[in-house]
């Protein structure tokens, strides 16, 4: 029986079965419109009425013993949080890093994905779910939110109900459901930098009370924030297009089916990382960036990244398309609801990058176009009773991915990349035209059974155990064929001692071929005890034992002394997670204020870290296991609406983080590039030109990358009643801000890649009519703060640090209406 047969059978089971009874359902419909701390109005419901589906059933958010943040459509639209990256301005515990859509990572509490270039053979640790469908590739998080009702950010391991891909948390996105009343929404925004965004949706019945349809579309365009003097074009632009459609069929009083489909496309000229600074390494001085640039007569167009200019000489492209279809069947049977979610999704990625980050012909092509299909099937039965609530289910998933990469070196590669002791270092012909053509196949299958019970021991005390059994099988095929400038394939299995040209070519782009495989069973679980100390005061304590699946390296392996791949590095072990959490969820002042606290302690064994290959010409990293990392901290969320006129909110997080033990980590750039020490030798001081470099570094006790010790978001809105054309409305003004303290932007912390802390302020003001028009002007990054989203190093230990400056001040006007 094929996987596709299983998927179709799962759909048929619930789609055509006849209901046994008309018992009260445990609904998993999208939650009703929920309040927004950012855009309240006179009809905003109390925060206690926010409904979430974090535990795969609809519940009030304050009754769920879990650290969870909810942002509804109004807050997303008002603050310009139109994708996951923008959502981080409202969620201090959520981090999102991206050098392009494929090389993106969503982290919660600093955990989730290795920091650095993406490796297809591993899992993310933050699951992205859209209408209960898992999206395996983080590129899905770079697309615009399309007709979204609300976004739930679940913090901490969610492995019992959401699976092995949620060791750090989950992002649960719910779109608007088809309506049996005619309704429509439209929104248009214009701003500086040529920003134009339009969204629209319509919904209504096709057959009264039986069949409803919903259609939605969105488009976003904006000029690039960086000017490329080589091409005369602005890069890092936005060019997004999305469509979604869904049908809701109430087949019987107890059975309903929702068929959904979506297509999303991006085609921006993106993504440039530009010159930020240089730092001293241990490579000989004339082989560091300044010396090399001088020898080639090169100077970057600016040494101030916030001039926002570059001279990249390779065309940039970040074309991608993602979409798929799903069928969700919900059948009220017995005391609960049986839910089936069947889905197929695809992702096509067609990039073009400049991986030397300069206007020099060092690496003239570096592209990894990729195509992926995934199939998933989940069956779930949920019951809410007087004393016992439970969810039990089965999950099956299969993914296939094909990547065809190419990397080509140019005329400046020999001088830039080769060891200075090589006689060929100044001979352009040695590496010019050297091309690696990669063919990469990846297959992954995952099967799971899971269950969670909530036992109401008393009216105040609840105990919630959960368990998940998971099986993973992964296989890959990596073939890299390397040809020289004459188009002849090179063979690195035997290199004559006199053939220094072949030796240098093999050290730069070695041919490789290997077939990694991984298979394993894992059991994860959690236990939560919650107690209602008083009305609107809930405390909880959680222990979770979770894991992230082991992986396979599919970006090339490090080489041994004979230029052969080290096959021991082709797989990485699963991460083992022990998580402890205490929480308090309260409402105060007659439920006009909400104050929630969470304290957590997470330890991960065999942490999957990205390791930058030390060989000079290698541009990609591979994966390795760090012995142990630890992240612990405290989070607080506050919301208050003292009157119908004023709303304030604040969220903050303190996060302590470190590699507890990582003794064989890659070294930071200031300790790289020199002659590797041998027995009895001592490494030179950091940044010593021509010095001795350690083979690896012990970074135990150092920071993890990407995590700020302090982070916060905060804001307020004040409104005044007004009448517009005889209708009740409001004029309003609002402020939203966020802050992050300093964080490391390198897997091994470097003095050159720390990103300084920053605070960003956003303002908006406008007028609205209830259930009608809303017109407001906005300014984001109002103080035009200069800061970086991410920093990275150039390969070859040249000391070049590149990065992506965050968006400058932007401003515009938004008009929304409902009809």
**Closest residue by Cα to residue 706 from 217, 36, 114, 29:** 114
Higher-pLDDT residue of 771, 135 = 135
Structure tokens that stand for 361 in this block: 């012909």
Dist. CA 292–CA 286, nearest whole Å: 6
* 123-142 pLDDT tens trace: 888 999 999 999 988 888 88
**pLDDT band, residue 494 (cuts 50/70/90):** confident
Helix (H) or strand (E) holding 508: helix 500-508
Q: Which two tokens stand for residue 506?
A: 């093999």
Alpha carbon distances (Å) from 818 to 37, 82, 198, 208: 21, 19, 14, 22
Query: What is the domain partition of the chain in residue ranges?
Result: 3-818
Kindly report, residue by residue over 495-504, the tens digit of the pLDDT. 888 899 998 9
Nearest-angstrom CA–CA distance, 328 and 380: 11
* 465: pLDDT strictly greater than 70: yes
How would you write 288-351 as a 3-class SS string? CHHHHHHHCCCCCCCCCHHHCEECCCCCCEEEEEEEEEEEEEEEEECCEEEEEEEEEEEEEEEE
Q: Please list, in sequence order, all residues whose beta carbon lies within 8 angstroms of the beta carbon of residue 2, skipping any fewer than 6 positions away.
A: none
The enclosing H or E element of 76 equals helix 73-79
Calculate the alpha carbon distances from 245 to 73, 264, 267, 271, 421 in Å: 18, 12, 22, 30, 62
Per-residue DSSP letter, 39: S
Token representation of residue 262: 């979506």
DSSP symbols for 555-575: S---B-TTS-B-GGGSEEPPE
Rounded-to-integer distance, Cα 213 and Cα 637, Å: 37
Coil, strand or helix: which one is 62?
A: helix
* Separation CA 200–CA 78 (nearest Å): 16
Q: Is the pLDDT of residue 685 over 60?
A: yes
Lowest-pLDDT range of 55-64, 446-455, 681-690: 55-64
Least confident range from 20-34, 96-110, 269-283, 334-348: namely 20-34
Cβ 591 vs Cβ 640: under 8 Å: no
Largest CA distance in the chain: 91
Of the chain, the percentage scoring pLDDT greater than 70 comes to: 92
Q: pLDDT confidence of 82, banded at 50, 70, 90?
A: confident
Mean pLDDT over residues 498-525, rounded?
91
Q: Mean pLDDT over all residues of the chain?
A: 89
- Quote the pLDDT of residue 621: 57
**Rounded distance, CA 475 to CA 401, Å?**
11
User: Please, what's the b/e burial string for 46-71 (b: 16 or more CB within 10 A of its CB; e: otherwise)?
Assistant: ebeebbbbbbbbbbebbebbbbbbbb
Query: What pTM does this model have?
Result: 0.90
Q: Where are the alpha helices (DSSP H) in 154-287?
A: 159-162
Among 407, 406, 426, smallest CA distance to 416 is for 426
CA distance 724 to 722: 7
Is the confidence at residue 46, as pLDDT, over 90?
A: no
Q: Record the tokens describing residue 650, joined without a space.
A: 């604040």
Report the topology of domain 3-818.
Maltoporin; Chain A (2.40.170)
531-560 pLDDT per residue, tens: 999 999 999 999 999 999 988 988 888 777
Q: Which helix (H) or strand (E) holds 10?
A: helix 3-15
pLDDT surpasses 80 at 34: no
pLDDT of residue 13: 35
pLDDT band at 117 (very low <50, low <70, confident <90, very high): low
**511 and 493 in contact (C-beta within 8 Å)?**
no
User: Burial of 97 by CB count in 10 Å (0-12 exposed, 13-18 middle, 19+ buried)?
Assistant: buried
* pLDDT grade for 98, boundaries at 50, 70 and 90: confident
pLDDT (0 to 100) of residue 244: 98
Give the phi and the psi of residue 259 in degrees, each rounded to 5.
-105, 125
- Taking 70 as the threshold, does the pLDDT of residue 194 lie above it? yes
Name the pLDDT band for 102 (thresholds 50, 70, 90): confident
Q: Residue 395 — very low, low, confident or very high, per pLDDT cuts 50/70/90?
A: very high
**Can you read off the two tokens belonging to residue 53?**
């589906």
Q: Is 465 helix (H, G, I), strand (E, B) or coil?
A: strand
* 119: pLDDT strictly greater than 50: yes
Q: What is the pLDDT of residues 552-605, one digit of tens each?
A: 988 888 777 676 778 888 888 999 999 999 999 999 999 999 999 999 999 999
Statement: residue 5 has pLDDT above 70: no
């Amino acid at each position: 029986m094929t996987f596709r047969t299983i998927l179709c059978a799962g759909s048929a089971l619930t789609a055509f079965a006849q209901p046994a009874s008309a018992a009260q359902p445990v609904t998993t419909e999208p939650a009703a419109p929920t309040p927004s701390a950012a855009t309240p109005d006179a009809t905003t419901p109390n925060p206690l009425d926010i409904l979430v589906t974090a535990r795969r059933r609809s519940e009030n958010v304050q009754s769920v013993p879990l650290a969870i943040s909810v942002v509804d459509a109004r807050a997303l639209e008002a603050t310009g949080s139109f994708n996951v990256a923008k959502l981080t301005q409202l969620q201090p515990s959520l981090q999102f890093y991206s050098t392009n859509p494929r090389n993106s990572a969503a982290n919660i509490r600093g955990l989730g994905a290795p920091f650095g270039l993406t490796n297809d053979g591993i899992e993310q640790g933050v699951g992205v779910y859209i209408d209960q469908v898992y999206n395996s590739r983080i590129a899905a998080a770079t697309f615009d939110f399309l007709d979204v009702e609300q976004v739930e950010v679940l913090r901490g391991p969610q492995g019992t109900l959401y699976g092995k891909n949620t060791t750090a948390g989950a992002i649960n996105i719910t779109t608007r459901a088809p309506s049996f009343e005619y309704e429509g929404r439209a929104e248009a925004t214009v701003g500086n930098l040529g920003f134009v965004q339009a969204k629209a949706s319509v919904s209504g019945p096709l057959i009264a009370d039986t069949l409803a349809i919903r259609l939605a579309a969105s488009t976003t365009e904006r000029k690039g924030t960086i000017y490329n003097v080589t091409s005369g074009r602005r890069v890092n632009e936005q060019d997004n297009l999305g469509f979604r459609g869904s049908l809701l069929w109430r087949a019987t009083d107890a059975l309903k089916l929702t068929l959904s489909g979506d297509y999303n496309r991006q085609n921006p000229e993106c993504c440039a990382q530009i010159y930020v600074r240089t730092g001293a390494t241990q490579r000989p001085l004339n082989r560091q960036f300044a010396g090399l640039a001088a020898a080639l007569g090169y100077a970057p167009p600016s040494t101030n990244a916030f001039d926002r200019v570059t001279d990249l000489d390779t065309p940039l492209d970040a074309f991608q398309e993602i979409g798929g279809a799903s069928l969700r069947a919900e059948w009220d049977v017995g005391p609960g609801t049986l839910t089936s979610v069947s889905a197929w999704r695809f992702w096509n990625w067609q990039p073009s990058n400049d991986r030397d980050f300069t206007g020099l012909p060092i690496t003239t092509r570096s592209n990894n176009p990729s195509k992926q299909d995934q199939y998933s099937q989940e069956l779930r039965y949920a019951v809410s009773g007087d004393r016992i609530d439970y969810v039990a289910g089965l999950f099956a998933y299969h993914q296939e991915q094909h990547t065809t990469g190419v990397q080509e070196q140019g005329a400046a590669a020999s001088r830039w990349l080769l060891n200075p002791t090589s006689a060929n270092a100044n001979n352009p012909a040695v590496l010019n035209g050297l091309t690696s053509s990669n063919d990469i196949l990846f297959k992954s299958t995952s099967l799971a059974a899971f269950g969670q019970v909530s036992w109401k021991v008393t009216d105040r005390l609840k105990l919630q155990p959960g368990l998940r059994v998971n099986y993973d099988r992964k296989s890959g095929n990596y073939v890299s064929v390397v040809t020289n400038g004459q188009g002849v394939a090179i063979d690195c299995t035997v290199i004559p001692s006199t053939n220094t040209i072949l030796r240098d070519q093999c050290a730069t782009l070695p041919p490789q071929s290997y077939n990694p495989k991984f298979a394993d069973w894992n059991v994860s679980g959690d236990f939560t005890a919650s107690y209602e100390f008083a009305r609107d005061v809930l405390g909880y304590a959680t222990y979770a034992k979770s894991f992230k699946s082991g992986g396979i390296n599919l970006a090339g392996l490090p080489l041994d002394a004979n230029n052969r791949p080290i096959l021991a590095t082709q797989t990485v072990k699963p991460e083992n997670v022990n998580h402890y959490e205490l929480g308090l969820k309260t409402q105060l002042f007659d439920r006009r204020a909400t104050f929630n606290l969470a304290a957590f302690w997470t330890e991960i064994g065999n942490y999957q870290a990205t390791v930058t290959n030390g060989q000079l010409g290698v541009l990609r990293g591979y994966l390795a296991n760090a012995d142990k990392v630890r992240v612990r901290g405290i989070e607080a969320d506050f919301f208050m609406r003292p009157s119908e006129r004023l709303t304030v909110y604040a969220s903050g997080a303190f996060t302590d983080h470190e590699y507890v033990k990582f003794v064989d980590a890659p070294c930071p750039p200031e300790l790289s590039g020199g002659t590797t020490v041998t027995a009895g030798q001592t490494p030179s001081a950091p940044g010593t030109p021509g010095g001795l470099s350690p083979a690896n570094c012990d970074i135990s006790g150092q920071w993890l990358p990407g995590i700020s010790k302090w982070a916060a978001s905060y804001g307020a809105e004040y409104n005044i009643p007004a009448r517009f054309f005889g209708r009740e409305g409001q004029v309003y003004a609002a402020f939203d801000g966020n802050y992050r303290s300093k964080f490391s932007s390198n897997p091994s912390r470097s003095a050159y890649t720390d990103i300084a802390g920053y605070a960003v302020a956003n303002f908006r003001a406008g007028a609205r009519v209830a259930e009608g028009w809303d017109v407001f002007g906005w300014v984001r990054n109002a103080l035009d703060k200069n800061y970086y989203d991410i920093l990275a190093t150039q390969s070859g230990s040249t000391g070049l640090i590149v990065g992506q400056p965050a968006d400058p001040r932007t401003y515009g006007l938004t008009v929304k209406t409902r009809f």
